[in-house]
A and B are shown apart, each in its own frame.
Chain A
Amino acid sequence: MDILPILSTLRRHKITALLVILEIALTCAIVCNAVFLISQRIDRIHMPSGIAEHELLHIELANIGAKADEKARTAADMAAIRQIPGVTAVAAVEQVPFGNSSNNSGIKIDPKQNKSTLNATNYFGENVAETLGVQLVAGRFLQSDEYVDLEDAIKAFAAGESNSKALPHSVVITQAMAERLWPGQQALGKQLYMGSELPLTVVGLMKTLVRPSIWDDSAAQYSMVIPIRVNSGQYVIRTAPQDRDRVLKTALEKLKLINPNRVVLKKRTWDEVREKFFQNDRAMTGLLVGVCIALLVVTALGIVGLGSFWVAQRRRQIGVRRALGATRRHILHYFQTENFLLATIGIAIGMVLAYGINLFLMTHYELPRLPAIYFPVGAVLLWLIGQAAVLGPAMRAAAVPPVVATRSV
């Protein structure tokens, strides 16, 4: 196909050509970045939690008025929950994965370090890791003789007795955290320090266990399980997926029976916990998908509109070409090539723009760099859309009979 005559025609229709190019360029730039944003969000929404999400329930209660004997109350609550048919495990905890409220500590590998190596979250509660269904990859989970009561630990810590029996001495951490603390080394048996004072020996490594609240996605899996018993009115219950609704209902009834003067702050399955946690990400994804589709449709319609206008304008020219021996196929190819040329220029400009927008987003919204794969994929997509959009007008052009050339309008 000879493109020189096409170029010379386009030079006579600079503005219309420019509009098509501009539209394709902007669409390319925005769609590339939007799709990238979408993929980022989707990755986030599917962030692994490391727990048996479809088997878990979360209940949080708040006491009213004076505090009773919390320890006895917790024991009674747990015993009642355990009796419910279908419950396989229950744990009293102070925070839960994706729960948003969290207790975190600066971790050092040397007590004399000035700044902490990293910040990790503290999971307390007897059997919390086992109840959550966390996968162990090395070492062991915590044993019941290692657990201490939170109140005793606080007292011993305040008194500065770092070797006290009332303080925890072991910890189970995630692989991600171990790798960050001791890159490439065996973490089992090593000591880490909470702050500068409390040494803990690593006895187990978990595959993953996500934090309750995530500020920095790269630190999302920095979690520790520490052998401390808590009585804070929060329970995690494990049961079969199909039993969840019934168990939750029964558990709430039983807890109400034990002490009616409590407010239920939370009662939910982990599907709900995750849904709530990633609500913003889902919102963004939905919005961006909608805008991308709308954008592509508008661009395609724009090409159809301008293409039709061009064909109508050049009916005589087409008629003359046909009269001079051009076949329908020639005319069809002419318009397709023209669109391909415009799309190519548009895509080239669009790539530069896409890169620019990505740089802007990187500086203002801490986004990573756009992967190179987006450029060829975006180009092919826009070429296809351009060709599909121009097909209709081009077919109409090809249908112009040669006799048009002989008619004076």
Chain B
Amino acid sequence: MFSYYLQLGLRSLRRNPLLTALMVMAIGFGVAASMITYSVFRAVSGNPIPEKSEQLFIPQVDSWGPKYNLTGNEPPYALNYVDAMALMREHKAKRQTMLYPIGMSALPLGGQSIPFTVQGFTAQSDFFAMFDVPFLYGSAWGTAEDEQRAAVVVISRKLNDKLFGGANSLGREITLSGHNYRVVGVTENWNPKPRFFAVWGGSSFGEPSDIYIPISRALDLKIDTAGNNSCRGRIDYGDWDGWLQSNCVWVTPWVQLDSAAEVAQYRQFLEGYASDQQRAGRYGWAPNVRLRNVMQWLDYMQVVPQESSVSLLVALGFFAICLINTIGLLLAKFLRRASEIGVRRALGASRREIYMQYLIEAGSVGLAGGFLGLLLTALGISGVGLLFQPQIARLAHLDVALVGLTLLVSVFATVVAALYPTWRAAQVQPAWQLKSN
């Protein structure tokens, strides 16, 4: 029966090519606009680390005070050097890392060719385990290296390919900004999107990092942040130590807390730390701390570009109008065949069968619209680069899930749109239709 109805449906689509083309186009354009904007939205609003986003937290401590704080007395986005070192020493969380973005120059091995820039992060050994960084060779450095302020480096697969031709480079040395570092690990290609751990001070959708070095080593070498720093009050630019002691925030802390109890405990620790600082006279205000997990942090930092959500809303509105249009056109199409329905009903077809037939017909319209939509989506996504910034455009891609979703949404939406027209069709009175003929 299903295939017979499908045949009937396809035949009826051919009977009214203009009306059919109108419906298919409306659905195709509507679904394509929604899917293109959704593919961008999905990429920028996704959870970058779904397995652990509930366990990773970014502590914030108010080191600026109410006079300088952000709106709503929100504490600064990052820690200053003094607080960062204090939290690092206390090490109250099971795992923790302090980080900041760096940019360095790398010297190619052997030849005399020109140095090139690499960018990455300073980190602590826990960084890699906390953020589930996959390794190609070797592993993270250990806490011992953190404490010894060792000159070690974890490099990306891409940099490893560039410097060592993809060979296992563990134990080899590389020169970064004039200093040598021993390679202890090579990561697989890894670049969470958005790059949640460096939303402030880095770039949320930037290029993958090339290098990671221990923060203790970086501070010894006085490597400055390549990201943001935000200063309040009196700033001492005189020398490195003066700068470290200034009230400038630029170090991002992350901690891993596995249970609600640990979270509560850590929050308590932060407040205790802040009130200690108040007592010591460093802070002239009451403790004001925050402990946000990954998704809360991304939400607070408004990582999703405004353009992306507004365009998704506009596209959905467009899709709604296309569906209303489809309802009207299906109504026109079905009711034009009232006499045909009358004959079928008189010959014994039940209402159920009329429903079946017309919903299947609508479904085939939806499927045709879906295929057109798919084509337009593919076209659109390849053209997203014309609209969005390259680093965001690169995120939008057509995958199996999106293809499935496009077809599903168009068939489902069309069938829903067909409910009322089909109901009207099923209400056709056979006797009345036969009489008037």
Report which A residues bind B (CB closer than 8 A): 15-16, 19-20, 22-23, 26-27, 29-30, 34, 37, 62, 64-66, 114-115, 154-155, 157-158, 195, 197, 260-261, 263, 265, 279-280, 282-284, 286-288, 291, 294-295, 298-299, 301-302, 304-306, 308-309, 312-313, 361, 365, 409
> 9 closest pairs, A vs B, by CB?
A309-B332, A283-B387, A302-B325, A158-B238, A64-B105, A19-B328, A65-B178, A154-B237, A30-B317
Q: Are A302 and B328 in contact (CB under 8 A)?
A: yes
A26-B317, A34-B314, A283-B307 as given contacts; A294 in contact with B177, CB under 8 Å: no
Shortest Cβ distance from B304 into chain A, in angstroms?
11
Q: Which of chain A's residues have a CB closer than 8 A to the CB of B33?
A: 291, 294
Interface centre among B25, B314, B389 (most CB of A within 10 A): B314
Residue of A nearest to B326 (CB): A302
> What are 12 sample pairs from A and B whose C-beta atoms fall under 8 A apart?
A19-B327, A19-B331, A27-B321, A154-B237, A158-B238, A279-B389, A284-B307, A286-B386, A294-B318, A295-B318, A302-B324, A306-B328
Residue of B nearest to A22 (CB): B324
Q: Are A312 and B336 in contact (CB under 8 A)?
A: yes
A261-B115, A308-B332 as given contacts; A287 in contact with B387, CB under 8 Å: yes
Q: B311 at interface (Cβ–Cβ under 8 A)? A: yes
Shortest Cβ distance from B318 into chain A, in angstroms?
5
Q: Are A154 and B238 in contact (CB under 8 A)?
A: yes
Q: Which of chain A's residues have a CB closer than 8 A to the CB of B329?
A: 302, 305-306, 309
Residue of B nearest to A287 (CB): B311
A154-B238, A158-B242, A365-B310 as given contacts; A280 in contact with B320, CB under 8 Å: no
Q: Are B328 and A26 in contact (CB under 8 A)?
A: no
A19-B324, A298-B321, A302-B325 as given contacts; A263 in contact with B237, CB under 8 Å: no
Residue of B nearest to A283 (CB): B387
Q: Are B311 and A284 in contact (CB under 8 A)?
A: yes
A263-B117, A265-B117, A283-B388 are known; give 4 further A-B pairs, CB within 8 A. A263-B114, A287-B314, A301-B25, A309-B329
Q: Are A64 and B115 in contact (CB under 8 A)?
A: yes
Interface residues of B in 390-437 (CB under 8 A from A): 420, 424, 437
Q: Which of chain B's residues have a CB closer than 8 A to the CB of A29?
A: 317
Q: Which of chain B's residues have a CB closer than 8 A to the CB of A154?
A: 237-238
Interface centre among B19, B26, B320 (most CB of A within 10 A): B26
Q: B315 at interface (Cβ–Cβ under 8 A)? A: yes
Q: Which of chain A's residues have a CB closer than 8 A to the CB of B240?
A: none
A284-B311, A305-B328, A306-B329 as given contacts; A64 in contact with B387, CB under 8 Å: no
Q: B29 at interface (Cβ–Cβ under 8 A)? A: yes
What separation, in Å, do the CA atoms of A66 and B33 have in the docked complex? 53
Q: Are B237 and A158 in contact (CB under 8 A)?
A: yes
Judged by DSSP, the binding face of B is helix
Q: B22 at interface (Cβ–Cβ under 8 A)? A: yes
Q: B305 at interface (Cβ–Cβ under 8 A)? A: yes
Q: Which of chain B's residues have a CB closer than 8 A to the CB of A265?
A: 117
Q: Which of chain A's residues have a CB closer than 8 A to the CB of B116?
A: 263
Q: Are B314 and A288 in contact (CB under 8 A)?
A: yes
Judged by DSSP, the binding face of A is helix
Q: Are A305 and B105 in contact (CB under 8 A)?
A: no
Interface residues of B in 232-284 (CB under 8 A from A): 233-234, 236-238, 242
Q: B35 at interface (Cβ–Cβ under 8 A)? A: no
Q: Which of chain B's residues have a CB closer than 8 A to the CB of A263?
A: 105, 114-117
Interface centre among B33, B37, B178, B321 (most CB of A within 10 A): B321
What separation, in Å, do the CA atoms of A27 and B387 have in the docked complex? 23
Q: Which of chain B's residues have a CB closer than 8 A to the CB of A15?
A: 331, 420, 424
A16-B328, A19-B328, A409-B437 as given contacts; A115 in contact with B67, CB under 8 Å: yes
A295-B318, A305-B22 as given contacts; A260 in contact with B114, CB under 8 Å: yes
Q: Which of chain A's residues have a CB closer than 8 A to the CB of B388?
A: 279-280, 283
Q: Which of chain B's residues have a CB closer than 8 A to the CB of A298?
A: 26, 29-30, 318, 321-322, 325
A20-B328, A284-B310 as given contacts; A30 in contact with B178, CB under 8 Å: no
Interface centre among A30, A155, A283, A313 (most CB of B within 10 A): A283
Q: Are B325 and A301 in contact (CB under 8 A)?
A: yes
Q: Which of chain B's residues have a CB closer than 8 A to the CB of A280?
A: 305, 307, 388-389
Q: Which of chain A's residues have a CB closer than 8 A to the CB of B3?
A: none
Q: Are A30 and B321 in contact (CB under 8 A)?
A: yes
Q: B306 at interface (Cβ–Cβ under 8 A)? A: yes
Residue of B nearest to A265 (CB): B117
Residue of B nearest to A158 (CB): B238
Q: Which of chain B's residues have a CB closer than 8 A to the CB of A279?
A: 388-389
Residue of A nearest to B424 (CB): A15
Q: What 0/1 pattern do residues 274 to 317 of B give for CB contact below 8 A with A?
A: 00000000000000000000000000000001110011001101
A34-B314, A302-B329 as given contacts; A65 in contact with B321, CB under 8 Å: no
Residue of A nearest to B228 (CB): A101
Residue of B nearest to A301 (CB): B22
Q: Which of chain A's residues have a CB closer than 8 A to the CB of B336?
A: 309, 312-313
Q: Which of chain B's residues have a CB closer than 8 A to the CB of A64?
A: 105, 115, 177-178
What separation, in Å, do the CA atoms of A283 and B29 have in the docked complex? 19
Shortest Cβ distance from A382 into chain B, in angstroms?
13
A22-B324, A280-B305, A365-B306 as given contacts; A62 in contact with B26, CB under 8 Å: no
Shortest Cβ distance from B359 into chain A, in angstroms?
18
Q: Which of chain A's residues have a CB closer than 8 A to the CB of B26?
A: 298, 301-302
Q: Which of chain B's residues have a CB closer than 8 A to the CB of A65?
A: 105, 115, 177-178
Q: Which of chain A's residues have a CB closer than 8 A to the CB of B103?
A: 62
Shortest Cβ distance from B65 into chain A, in angstroms?
11
Residue of B nearest to A23 (CB): B324
Q: Are B234 and A197 in contact (CB under 8 A)?
A: yes
Q: Are B19 and A26 in contact (CB under 8 A)?
A: no
Shortest Cβ distance from A335 into chain B, in angstroms?
15
Q: Are A294 and B29 in contact (CB under 8 A)?
A: yes
Q: Are A23 and B242 in contact (CB under 8 A)?
A: no
Q: Which of chain A's residues have a CB closer than 8 A to the CB of B117?
A: 62, 263, 265
Q: Are B321 and A295 in contact (CB under 8 A)?
A: yes
